[in-house]
């Protein structure tokens, strides 16, 4: 079993897995929803995300995953929770201002985004504020239900112009 760094440095592989999982889940979800009790589905999803994404990405369970738009690197590992790129405090060795022994999440994210195919370049998208109410819920279910795409009314207003 390779360590998670091995996977993290293969963003093309990870984006493929993401795209495949998304397609499969979108296909299967209507059926799952019909046969399984909602509470049970939620628990299974939360548990499997904690295990799989926890291992692969050090997932913080924000419930609104944007990994494919951030070089398959979890932005919630940034101590400042930045969703739109690195702060101005990055050290000259490329490490984090807050945790000196940790490489800056966003330096890694930008490098990996440049290696990606399908979703490469999405790192330039302006990400909306985090919905803190979704903390510890399943990002996959929020995606399938369209919950993670909901934005504050004011935020969406400007995009309609």
Partner 1 sequence: MADPHHTSSAGEWESHGGESRLRQVLEAGHFAVTAELNAPDSADPKDVYANLTELGDVCDGINATDGSGANCHMSSVACCALMARAGYEPVLQMGCRDRNRIAIQGDLLGAAALGVRNVLCLTGDDVSAGDQPEARRVFDFDALHLLRTAQIMRDQGVLLSGRKLTTPPEFFLGAAANPFVPPQDLRHLRLAKKIEAGAQFIQTQYCYDVPVFEAFMRRARDMGLHEKVYLLVGVGPLRSERAAEFMRSRVPGVHIPDAVVDRLAKTPRKGKREEGIRICVEIIEAVKQIEGVHGVHIMAYRQEEAVPEIVERAGILREKPKG
Q: Where on the chain is the footprint of partner 1 (CB under 8 A)?
A: 79-94, 97-98, 104, 107, 110-111, 124, 126-130, 132, 152-155, 157-158
Minimum CB distance to partner 1 smaller for 36 or for 98: 98
The two three-digit tokens of residue 96, written as one number: 């984090």
Shortest reach from residue 120's CB to partner 1, in Å: 13
Minimum CB distance to partner 1 smaller for 31 or for 133: 133
Shortest reach from residue 97's CB to partner 1, in Å: 5
Minimum CB distance to partner 1 smaller for 108 or for 137: 108
């Amino acid at each position: 079993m390779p360590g998670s760094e091995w996977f993290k440095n293969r963003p093309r592989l990870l984006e493929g897995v993401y795209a495949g999982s998304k397609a499969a889940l979108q296909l299967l979800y209507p059926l799952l929803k019909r046969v399984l009790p909602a509470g049970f589905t939620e628990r299974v999803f939360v548990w499997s995300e904690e295990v799989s994404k926890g291992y692969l990405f050090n997932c913080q369970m924000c419930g609104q995953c944007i990994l494919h738009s951030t070089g398959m690197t979890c932005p919630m590992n940034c101590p400042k929770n930045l969703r739109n790129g690195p702060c101005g405090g990055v050290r000259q060795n490329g490490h984090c201002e807050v945790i000196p022994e940790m490489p800056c999440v966003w330096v890694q994210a930008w490098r990996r985004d440049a290696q990606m195919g399908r979703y490469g370049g999405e790192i330039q998208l302006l990400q909306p504020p985090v919905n803190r109410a979704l903390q510890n819920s399943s990002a996959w279910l929020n995606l399938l239900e369209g919950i993670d795409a909901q934005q504050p009314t004011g935020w969406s207003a400007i995009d309609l112009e």
